[in-house]
Structure formats: C-alpha cells, structure tokens
A and B are shown apart, each in its own frame.
Chain A
C-alpha cells in the first residue's frame, strides 16, 4: 500500500473535534488536580498528623498505580457499588484523581523550597498566614514549580489518550476508529501524533513564557507599577 497523506484531509475536521475533547478532558482534570493538589500540599505540610497521613497515603496510592487502572476502576468497577458514570465524567474523575497526586507533590516541593526566613520576615511585619502564603510564598514557589508542573501537564496531555479505553471520543479513540475502518494506520496515526505534538508544543511555549515572566528581577518594574509607586510622574 502506498502512503498518501492527502487521505487524511477529509478526516481533519473529525480529528480536530476529537482533539478538542482531548483538550477539554486534559485541561479540566488538570485544573481540578491543581486546586485539589494545592490543598493537599497544604494538608501535607500541616501540623495535624492525621491530615498529613491521609494525604501521604493518597499520593502513595494514586501516584503508585496506573492511570489506566483508575479509569477502569471508575468506569467499570464503580457501577458494582452503585456508582455509574458517563464515560466523560468517569474520565474527568479518574484523570483528576491521578494528576492531583502528582500536583500535590510538585506544589509541595515548591512551597517548601521557600526559605523559612522569608516567612519569618513576613511574620515579623505582622502578616497573617493566608497573606504570607499569597504575597510571599506562592510567588516565590512559582519559580520552582513551573518546570515540573508543566512537565506533568504535558505528560498528562499524552496520558489523556488512555481515556480512549472507556470510550471517550478523544483523539486516540477517534484515530483508532478511522484507521480500523480505512486501514490507513500510518497516515491517521501520524496525523494524530502531529496533533498531540502541537498541543504539547503549545504547553512548552506557555512554559517558556511563564519562565520569562517569572524573571522579575531581570525585567524590572513595569511602567505602570513605577507610576503606582510614585517612582515616575503620573504622566511621565
């Protein structure tokens, strides 16, 4: 059989639509996993032993078992105890549970990288803990977090292809369905691979941009900020 990439063109709209589903399940579960991961990280750092233990066990289990298994569990095993979910919902739940475990550890590493003395300096001027977290700890932790966080995000994007096994119409499942009826595996898989690469490249770009944005000391204060701080004239 000769290879003809022109064959892919009529299928592109379907593939793009499927890529849209990949984006939705990835971004949605990553968003949930970031929020949960953040609170889990705080819990993991708290001085309540039970809380720390619960989160530690959570991470042990969900980082230590395959996401594929989480997907099967939520979709095929949960109905046995009376919980039946749509494929989409099941995918979001399973993927969130999985990425939460990674994000928890990534965010914790970042938060704990902020030196104790930085926090003490904020305590010494009279800031309360939530304020210290917001103005001192998180901004500094971001620098540490960004690389592992985006690495996990990219890994999670590729991992979303596993949702195909519970019939979520995302990119991988759609590609499979097209080539199993047309036998054009090379063309379709290459196209799907290219789309994955575009998505992950976009995330790599975001990472580059974030890393640059976080080099605040090289960039200096913005004009707007200088004006607010009365460092330049209002109309200067």
Chain B
C-alpha cells in the first residue's frame, strides 16, 4: 500500500513503577482500512498498547502517530512537549475507543450516550445530533432502545451502544479493548456482528480480543503479543494455520480447544 499509514507505533515502551514492564518496545504500523487483531495471554500488553494509542496511558518511551500526527506530544523545535488538554481532547475525538466494561454513562439514556460527544465536543445542535444518533442506533440494531438507560440494557446491547457512541464522532480509527470479554457467551455474537459491519465499511480497526474466530474471519492481520512484545504477526491464515514461534503454538494450543 502506497498510502501513508493510519497508525504508526515505534519503539513504544510503558513501565508501571519500577518492576512492571507492560510494553517492551512495540513497532506496529496499521494501514487505512486495515483490521488488526491483537491476541495474546492476559497481561501481554494488548490493552496497554491500545490505551497508549489514544494516550489514556502515557508512554514511557517511543511514539505513536495517528493519521500522521503525533499523539500526545507536539513535535519540532528540538524538544517534544506534552499537548495541552484541549489539543489532546481534539486528537482523541478522532480516535474511537470501545472498552471491555462498556463504560456507558449511567445517567444518560442510550441515545444521549451516543450523541453526547457530538453536542459537547463538536458543538452540534441537539436535534441534528439526535438525527445522527437515531441512524447509529439503527445501525447497531437498537432503534427500539434509544430512550432506555444503560441499567436496563443487556451487556451485548450496552456494548453496541458504546460502539455507536464511538462511531458518532466519525473517528479515523476505532480501538476495541476486549469488547466481548465481559459478555455472556450468547451475547458475544451480536457485538461481533456489529464490529464486522464496521470493518466492512472500511474502518481502520485495532481489536484486542480473545475471539479467535473473529480474528480469523475478519482481520487482515493478527498480531500475537506476549510479555509486552510482538512475538509474531501475519495474515490470519498464517498465524492460525502455520504458527512459527513456540510461544504462539503453545498459546493457540491452549485457546483453540
């Protein structure tokens, strides 16, 4: 692909305190429209990597670029500087994020959750935002639940609202942090179906997941992480059909039973 990459991660490291090295030097490039699945055992750094891409974690070293722009820092004139709150917020508005525990706002209805960003961040009029919200709620198949509060939605419905909330900002990239790990097994499918729909529309997606079926079926590339490093990556058929490293083989043996 000749296009400029959508996400560029270079030499990314993250330490928590003295002893924990969550990321030990990650290099990853994601092209526009590419769907990348991050797989690996718990604590391998998948979440930390995702959270570093929109600066919810401040990296200890290395850099992240999204759509060519350095995330969290201003470059040039020699020294790098942390961005102020406003500039950082503007960057984050371009990066959609879906969390393992949904994190819908409980004091807002489903529709209000979806459009809050449009109203508060983009300054859109309520009625215009509502129209977009209606479309998105229909897209995630929840047109009937627009005025329901999160409390009254199932886990799968909550996560679909959360996806609509992220999509409402028309992000350049969508990050999914184990979006189905907190769901009852029978609710996983409906969320994956929505994600597949989003992928089919050409969204650039990075998905940390334990759903190997989804990774195999939907992703263009699978990245296997362990102990804060990328151990192996490639197209799904290679990763699942012909794993190269011992660690990946052991991991797949354990998860694909």
Chain A residues within CB distance 8 Å of chain B: 115, 117-118, 120-129, 131, 135-136, 139-140, 216-217, 220-221, 226, 228-231
Q: Check A124/B97 contact, CB under 8 A, given A230-B130, A231-B146.
A: yes
Alpha-carbon distance between A229 and B111 when the two chains are bound, in angstroms: 8
Residues 71-97 of B, flagged 1 when their CB comes within 8 A of A and 0 if not, give: 000000000000001100111111111
Would you give 11 A-B contacts (Cβ < 8 Å), ordered by A?
Answer: A121-B99, A125-B121, A126-B92, A128-B89, A129-B85, A131-B121, A139-B107, A226-B147, A229-B115, A230-B134, A231-B130
Alpha-carbon distance between A136 and B105 when the two chains are bound, in angstroms: 7
Give how many B residues have a beta carbon under 8 Å from the other chain's beta carbons. Answer: 45
Q: Which residues of A contact B95 (CB under 8 A)?
A: 124
Alpha-carbon distance between A122 and B116 when the two chains are bound, in angstroms: 9
Alpha-carbon distance between A139 and B103 when the two chains are bound, in angstroms: 15
Q: Check A131/B120 contact, CB under 8 A, given A118-B105, A120-B103.
A: yes
Specify which of A117, A217, A229 is in contact with B149 (CB 8 Å cutoff): A217
Specify which of B90, B96, B112, B121 is in contact with A229 (CB 8 Å cutoff): B112
Shortest Cβ distance from A229 into chain B, in angstroms?
A: 5
Contact check, A229 vs B126: say whether CB atoms are below 8 A apart: yes
Which residue of A121, A128, A136 has the most chain B CB atoms within 10 A of its CB atom? A121
Q: Check A216/B89 contact, CB under 8 A, given A125-B165, A127-B117, A140-B106.
A: no
Q: Check A221/B147 contact, CB under 8 A, given A128-B86, A139-B107.
A: yes
Alpha-carbon distance between A120 and B175 when the two chains are bound, in angstroms: 13
Specify which of A118, A120, A135, A221 is in contact with B116 (CB 8 Å cutoff): A135
Alpha-carbon distance between A123 and B151 when the two chains are bound, in angstroms: 22
| Interchain pairs with CB closer than 8 A, number | 96
Shortest Cβ distance from A131 into chain B, in angstroms?
A: 6
Shortest Cβ distance from A153 into chain B, in angstroms?
A: 23
Contact check, B166 vs A125: say whether CB atoms are below 8 A apart: yes
Q: Which residues of B contact A126 (CB under 8 A)?
A: 89-94, 117, 121, 169
Chain B residues within CB distance 8 Å of chain A: 54, 56, 85-86, 89-97, 99, 101, 103-107, 109, 111-112, 115-117, 120-121, 126-127, 130-131, 133-134, 146-147, 149-152, 162, 165-166, 168-169
Shortest Cβ distance from A198 into chain B, in angstroms?
A: 33
Q: Check A135/B120 contact, CB under 8 A, given A126-B93, A221-B147, A228-B127.
A: yes
Q: Which residues of B contact A131 (CB under 8 A)?
A: 120-121
Q: Which residues of A contact B96 (CB under 8 A)?
A: 124
Shortest Cβ distance from A30 into chain B, in angstroms?
A: 25
Contact check, B56 vs A228: say whether CB atoms are below 8 A apart: no
Q: Which residues of A contact B115 (CB under 8 A)?
A: 229
Q: Check A231/B147 contact, CB under 8 A, given A125-B93, A125-B165, A125-B166.
A: yes
Alpha-carbon distance between A139 and B127 when the two chains are bound, in angstroms: 23
